[in-house]
Chain A
Amino acid sequence: MAQRKGNYTILFDDPPSVCASSAVGGKKEAEGPLGNMFDMTSDDSYFGESSWEKAESRMQKDAVNKALEKANFSNAEIECIFAGDLLNQCVGSSYGLRDLGIPLIGLYGACSTMAESLTVASVFLESGAINKAIACTSSHFCSAERQFRYPLEYGGQRTPTAQWTATAAGAAVLEKGDTPPFVRAATVGTIEDLGIKDANNMGAAMAPAAAMTLKRFFADTQTNAENFDLIITGDLGKVGTKLLRELMQQDGYHLEHAHTDCGLMLYNMEKQDVHSGGSGCGCSASVMCGHIFPLMRKGQLNDILFIATGALMSPTVVQQGESIASIAHLVYISSQKTGGRVS
């Protein structure tokens, strides 16, 4: 059974295994430094569909099918899928997964969805309610632009703090088994808001949430940054990364040597004109599912903390003058099923 550790952290006694995972990406992502990690990419941003929303759904469907293929499971064997995305009413997930016939729990955590879906899937697995699950999410630059910002062809200028929504999807198959890596613990975040109102500076808005969740995990488990091979945040970008490290430093935690951010890994920061870095659910989902989990399976990484951050605002509340509320969820993933510093 899952156990509480400290005030916020859940420890899994029988940690679920992430037995297979897949990543799908767009053209820009394929041209980035992690281009080779993708199982599928498309030069056509529409992915052969007629609208951006359909394209995003298509990516999520492809990611799930690819993950199932790699795990050698059929749709019918998966007892529940945990999915979400950035689009209104999470249509990226619901229409993408419509034809699969797998029970769905829809989640909304903005860009934190990958960590959220891994957490919820793990709790379901640990409870014995299900034996096999999928956690997946997606984002698409074009569907996000038209929903949150301006039409694509509109002549606007991006500020240096703006981030680039990744066109990508990731899916992870979880089961009760012995294939590494394992989801060992999770810390569910609280909603944090330090008053940032600039929708072109999501990294600054989300950094306090990441810092809060990370500090709570360290406190709950009596660990610190040195106990982990890698602390990887979802999409803080350049600005958010800097702020997270400063916020952590104020409480005596030094992340410099162990920390990186999926938003800084997915693109070539010098050449690809993504300003502060990548963002979107698909950013961390594809980096984790396409890059990090496989590295852990090969034994090149052992203990990592994945903290995905999400900005929980909508264009409506931002226009009404609200600040950007944020959240961050953490999962501790290890190549070992038992033992180690956190238990």
Chain B
Amino acid sequence: MSVLVDLLKAFVVGGIICAIGQVLIDYTKLTPARILTSYVVAGVILGGLGWYQKLIDFAGAGASVPLLGFGSLLAKGVKKAVAEDGVLGILTGGFTASAAGVAAAVFFSLLIASIFKPKEKG
């Protein structure tokens, strides 16, 4: 039962975060690239203020999978690195925390792009 509740919470919270993105696309002049960028920066701010972690605790992947979660991860990483390594942590924290996702995106993209070819849209 708790599994279903967890999945439902992730679905609803993740869905709402995406729906807000759609509102921004349809009702403002923001391009998708700008929306991605704003989501990440907003995530850093919300994460830095400690608010976003509460949403992650509640919704799990529903909060961590959207790019807001990526931003909050950057903030979390910096905080941890500053606590452990001092001043150098300001610079190392962000990349360290996001290393898995970014490295995966870079390497898989290289791999897939080497294999496949772009096709005309349906």
A: residues with CB less than 8 A from B are 26-28, 45, 141-142, 151-153, 156-157, 167, 273
Contacts and interface: CB of A to CB of B under 8 A. Distances in A.
B111 to A, nearest CB: 15
Interface string B87-122: 000000000000000000000000000000011111
B32 A152 contact: no
Contacts of B25: 157
The majority secondary structure among interface residues of chain B is loop
8 contacts: A26-B120, A28-B120, A45-B120, A141-B120, A141-B121, A142-B120, A151-B118, A152-B121
A153 B121 CA distance: 8
Q: How large is the interface on B (under 10, 10 to 19, 20 to 34, 35 or more residues)?
A: under 10
Contacts of A28: 120
A93 B32 CA distance: 33
A45 B119 CA distance: 8
Nearest to A45: B120
A26 B122 CA distance: 12
Contacts of A157: 25
Nearest to B112: A153
A130 to B, nearest CB: 37
Nearest to A272: B122
A278 to B, nearest CB: 14
A153 B120 contact: no
B120 A156 contact: no
A160 to B, nearest CB: 11
Contacts of A141: 120-121
B92 to A, nearest CB: 31
Contacts of B118: 142, 151-153
Nearest to A198: B29
A267 to B, nearest CB: 13
Q: Which of B118, B120, B121 has the most CB of A within 10 A?
A: B120
A142 B119 CA distance: 8
